[in-house]
Structure 1
Amino acid sequence: MGDRVNPGRRSQGRMADLLFETDTNQIPVGTRSGMLEMRDGKKLRYAVTQAAGRPLQGTVLLLHGRNECIEKYFETIADLAGRGFTTVCFDWRGQGGSSRMVRDAMRGHVDRFDDYVSDLDQLFRDLVLPDCPPPFYILAHSAGGLVSLLAAPMLANRVRRMVLVAPLLGLPRSPAAIRCIRFVTRTLSLVGLGRRYAVNGRYQAGGRPFAGNLLTSDPARYMRNAEILRNQPQLGLGGPTVRWVSAALRAIDRVHDPDFIAGITIPTLIVAAGADSVVSTPAIERFATRFRNGVLLTIDGARHEILQEADFYREQLLAAFDAFIPGSQEPALTAAIEPAESVQL
């Protein structure tokens, strides 16, 4: 796959600049998009959506997870615009409409999570700071939450607050299984097999059925997201490579280090999904108990993709965001954050 998005067949969806829309997933009004070249020549596809509501509240960097793309977050971008936020969303290297990392474009690969951190830093320097209104906030999901924590020392003087949704801070496996996965993936990477699929995760262009999915209980949003990839399959991704899994586990170990946690000074709201079976909610809770600048909220019954969940769960997350981010009308969570505070919603 090349560095630009393949427009595909027009009959399967409409394209505006580098973004795609369907009848059920419209590009938010006031959105522009482009490609930003990184230091190593890779290109990231980005979208900037201007605030639609007043008063103006600043800019939110919306950082999605593995195997996601900008189009999946049009609804959330429009929600943020209506709240008075300019929103910046981009596809991580190796997925969506950004440059892919290996010959088989559908393999989810990265050499190290620090590459994601470097990309975020450059995007902040080259796009956000020059073109977007302060103050700056982060709203991040899953692997995007892990990258946000890794980048927190670099973001300390730039970002006012972060909201991390079901961050990737552990896998729902036993400690023995995690040790085995860590050893095997690290060993395979060292002997040159890091670009192989870690599991049998080849890309399925038609998507998987709603029944039994681990991501959301909302059939309409699930089918809307599946339609994006049916119409534009080049935006999709298969399973992670051995090296990606190894890099993710190293990054998780790093952010769990007590010294690293102590160095994170950005006030952070962590929102866990009570019915999450993709990432480990207990690992998120353990992290939160040691994070003096963090507060944990658990939304009981929600699956992993809370921003793609049914309204009952999704609106709880948005209400928590409104309460935590300064400038909202809800003051409940804007007071000083107490260490290891946990709230059940």
Structure 2
Amino acid sequence: MDPILYATADNPVPENHLAGFFEGRGGVKIRYAVFRSKAREAKGTVVLLQGRSECIEKYYETIGDLTARGLWVATFDWRGQAGSGRFVSGSRAGHVDRFADYEADLSLFLEQIVLPDARLPFFIVAHSTGALVALSQAPQLENRIERMVLASPFVALGGQSMSQRQIGIIAHLASLTGFGKRTFRKGDPPLGFADNVVTSDARRFARNAAIYAEHPELSIGWPTARWLNETLRAMARVTHQDHLTRIRIPTLLLCPTADPLVPRKAVGDLARIFRAARLIEIDGARHELFQEADRFRAQALAAIDAFIPGSDADDTSLGA
């Protein structure tokens, strides 16, 4: 029987877990795992939401950090990537038909896996696109999720040769004219450490590269036009004041200041109008905070320690 989770030489599967598949919206096969803490009394469960192009295996180290703190971790691969169902035949392109499908899968995961099998209270720790999904779904999560930590929330698109507006127009037109499953770029994303913009840590970069080298079925290529169109529309919606006013879950925004993919200004602008949120900037860090060098990653984990499960002393300043 093929394993559900994969290990590499320097990235063993954490112990004390269960893994499987559930049906997402439309019957899409979604891979998930729940990791239990060895602590006698669990402090709760972190619902860990990945970014685009990531997989459960990439978060083993972070999962170990969280379970060592007495927290369970429940996580899954987004549709269209890693060990979940794909949508573009003969291609590794990252695709989604509707951004709402991500939200529906998160709701089903909470209902079918987390609520029955994990330990209360529930928290969200999300990265990049996962943070965008959490922001979008947050008004409906108030009675389920106690607090959220959003790292490098994907609320704007930086580091591109065209403006976000230009990309949005082209992606929208491609989606309307039957080219939604096409990508704007050919070939594969660059794989070398020297070319990467997401982490300054060579060891963690090599560890993650080995996961995809040994298990290429987990890897993903460039996003499709439809994915870009749906994601850019979600960005516009969740950064609107009306939407943010509806979010009452105390939220911590972690912003790496050297992130070229999500502009620092965009996260700062979000924090200024997001009453339930507090912003912490991590100076010099790049996009993937949980894959970064120890000096940056330790700051992110310390912020989580101070916020989850959270102290009564902080509640008033977070609008709780």
- Letter of the 2:171 counterpart: T
> If the length of structure 2 is used for normalisation, what is the TM-score?
0.95
1:271 matched to 2:254? The reply is yes
More displaced, 37-46 or 303-312? 37-46
- The CA deviation string for residues 92-111 of structure 1, in whole angstroms up to 9 with x for no partner, is 00000000012134010001
Structure 2 partner of 1:42: 28
Structure 1 partner of 2:150: 164
More helix by share: 2
Looking at structure 1, the residues matched to 123 and 14 of structure 2 have their Cα atoms a distance apart, in angstroms, of 20
Instruction: Give runs of aligned pairs for residues 186-225 of structure 1, distance below 5 A.
Output: 186-200=172-186, 202-203=187-188, 208-225=191-208
Structure 2 partner of 1:53: 39
CA contact (8 A) 1:94 1:108 kept: yes
- The CA deviation string for residues 134-186 of structure 1, in whole angstroms up to 9 with x for no partner, is 10000000000000001101111100000000010001269x82221111110
More displaced, 49-58 or 281-290? 49-58
- The CA deviation string for residues 171-227 of structure 1, in whole angstroms up to 9 with x for no partner, is 1269x8222111111011101111001223x336xx611113101111100000000
CA contact (8 A) 2:20 2:33 kept: yes
Looking at structure 1, the residues matched to 251 and 280 of structure 2 have their Cα atoms a distance apart, in angstroms, of 11
CA apart distance, 1:38: 2.0
Structure 1 partner of 2:106: 120
CA contact (8 A) 2:183 2:225 kept: yes
How well do the aligned residues superpose, as a CA RMSD in angstroms?
1.9
Looking at structure 1, the residues matched to 318 and 144 of structure 2 have their Cα atoms a distance apart, in angstroms, of 22
Structure 2: give runs of 5+ residues left out of the alignment: none
Match of 2:214 among 225, 231, 251: 231
Structure 1 partner of 2:245: 262
Structure 2 partner of 1:303: 286
Structure 2 partner of 1:135: 121
Structure 1: give runs of 5+ residues left out of the alignment: 1-5, 8-16, 340-345
Looking at structure 2, the residues matched to 42 and 309 of structure 1 have their Cα atoms a distance apart, in angstroms, of 32
Looking at structure 2, the residues matched to 325 and 86 of structure 1 have their Cα atoms a distance apart, in angstroms, of 12
- Letter of the 2:314 counterpart: T
Structure 1 partner of 2:65: 79
1:19 matched to 2:2? The reply is no
> If the length of structure 1 is used for normalisation, what is the TM-score?
0.89
Looking at structure 2, the residues matched to 278 and 168 of structure 1 have their Cα atoms a distance apart, in angstroms, of 8
Task: For residue 206 of structure 2, give the secondary structure of its aligned residue in structure 1.
Answer: helix
Task: For residue 169 of structure 2, give the secondary structure of its aligned residue in structure 1.
Answer: helix
Task: For residue 148 of structure 2, give the secondary structure of its aligned residue in structure 1.
Answer: strand
- Letter of the 1:73 counterpart: Y
CA apart distance, 1:333: 7.7
Match of 1:63 among 23, 36, 49: 49
- Letter of the 2:111 counterpart: R
Task: For residue 6 of structure 2, give the secondary structure of its aligned residue in structure 1.
Answer: strand
Structure 1 163/134 Cα, relative in aligned 2: closer, same or farther at 3 Å? Answer: same
Task: For residue 214 of structure 1, give the secondary structure of its aligned residue in structure 2.
Answer: coil
